[in-house]
Amino acid sequence: MTQGCILEFKNISKNYGKKCIIKNLNLNIFHNEVIGLLGVNGAGKTTTIKLMLGLETPSAGEIKLFGKNPTNPAARIHIGATPQNIEFPEGIKTSEILKFIHSHYPNPFPIQEMIEKFGLNTFLEHKATKLSGGQKRRLALALAFIGNPKIVFLDEPTTGLDVEARKLLWEVIKEYKNKGKTIFLTTHYLEEIEQIATRILFLQKCEIIADESVEGIQKIANSKLAKVSFECGTQCEFDNFNSIDSITKNKTNYILTTKNSDQLICELVNNNIPFSNLQIKKENLESAFLNLSKGE
Ligand SMILES: Nc1ncnc2c1ncn2[C@@H]1O[C@H](COP(=O)(O)OP(=O)(O)OP(=O)(O)O)[C@@H](O)[C@H]1O
């Protein structure tokens, strides 16, 4: 196994019937990474996490979690996870579930610390199946971290969380990373991931089409289109321009798309275009992601 690697996919393929979900994927996850896995609905993010957790078997290839098969209890003792759809057993209270999961790990965090971190105080004596969606999510997150595992897998962890709980979660993830631990998460909230991820993966059509640092992804975003809009009372001619990808005109309002907004502004000035109300809108990470998804 590659040094420092805690999870390894070797030529992994996964099909459901004839449907290909993952094809020939090679992937290494190392200590102290915060990895965000992104992809459109149905891209295969949950399936990927299930393969990592040993909850699904690959159709081909080999997965090593801490050098072992992910179903091996000796590997699983180092992981924590929260699934996308949370279900708890009937009749058990929040406090009881916390104690039960806590007892399975050799070096867990104090239960009280998890209660405070994830704001569980007000529903400790409530039956877990009766909790609201957001409360269930908070409990599931506390359970993912409680064992002080080396890697935590979070499948769309912010689903159902209010703004405050989301902030809390990102703080917990940051803190956890600072302890040298690894987090692997799927999410649709790209702007949030931008703040915490050390690496971003995009899954599309059975393949990881981008495996980049946040800076790398931002470069992709920056090299993508910007929209430059302005008003101009006279008819503009753009024949001398080298920087324009497309032109849209609506009465006196022009919208130009460009991969180089700086050059476009210079060309506007050099060609004495009498523009006003100039606005430049660069693509954000989210639209870069969507364009990657579209294969642009
Ligand atoms: N057990 C299963 N049997 C058959 N098909 C499945 C099974 N589980 C998932 N799929 C299919 O595999 C594809 C990938 O599903 P998956 O849940 O991994 O996507 P996802 O990227 O997590 O989607 P979302 O963002 O909507 O949660 C989907 O087309 C789904 O219908």
Of the residues 180, 212, 244, the one at which a domain ends: 212
Q: What is the mean pLDDT of residues 93-115?
A: 96
Residue 186 domain flag = yes
Rounded to whole angstroms, how far apart are CA atoms 160 and 203?
23
109: CATH: 3.40.50.300
* Cβ-based neighbours of 157, under 8 Å, separated by 6 or more: 82, 137, 141, 169, 185, 187
Residues 104 and 25 both lie in one domain: yes
pLDDT of 286 over the 70 cut? no
Lowest mean pLDDT among 4-13, 196-205, 219-228, 248-257: 219-228
For atom 30 of ligand 1, the residue with the nearest CA is 42
Distance 88 CA to ligand 1 centre (A): 22
> How does strand 79-82 pair with strand 151-155?
parallel
Pocket of ligand 1 (CB under 6 A): 16, 21, 39, 41-47, 84
The predicted pLDDT at position 284 comes to 60
Distance 58 CA to ligand 1 centre (A): 14
The predicted pLDDT at position 220 comes to 72
Residues 196 and 233 both lie in one domain: no
Residues 162 and 284 both lie in one domain: no
Residue 133 domain flag = yes
256: CATH: 3.30.70
Q: Return the residue matching tokens 């199946």.
A: 129
For atom 11 of ligand 1, the residue with the nearest CA is 42
Tell me the range of 16-20, 39-43, 216-220 where mean pLDDT is highest. Answer: 16-20
The predicted pLDDT at position 223 comes to 67
Distance 142 CA to ligand 1 centre (A): 25
Distance 48 CA to ligand 1 centre (A): 10
The predicted pLDDT at position 72 comes to 95
For atom 28 of ligand 1, the residue with the nearest CA is 42
Band (pLDDT 50/70/90 cuts) for residue 217 is confident
Residue 257 corresponds to which amino acid?
Answer: T
Rounded to whole angstroms, how far apart are CA atoms 128 and 296?
45
Distance 19 CA to ligand 1 centre (A): 10
- Please give the tally of structural domains in the chain: 2
Q: How far is CA 94 from the centre of its chain?
A: 28
pLDDT of 51 over the 70 cut? yes
Domain encompassing residue 34: 5-212
Cβ-based burial of 121 (10 A; exposed 0-12, middle 13-18, buried ≥19)? exposed
ipTM of the complex as predicted = 0.98
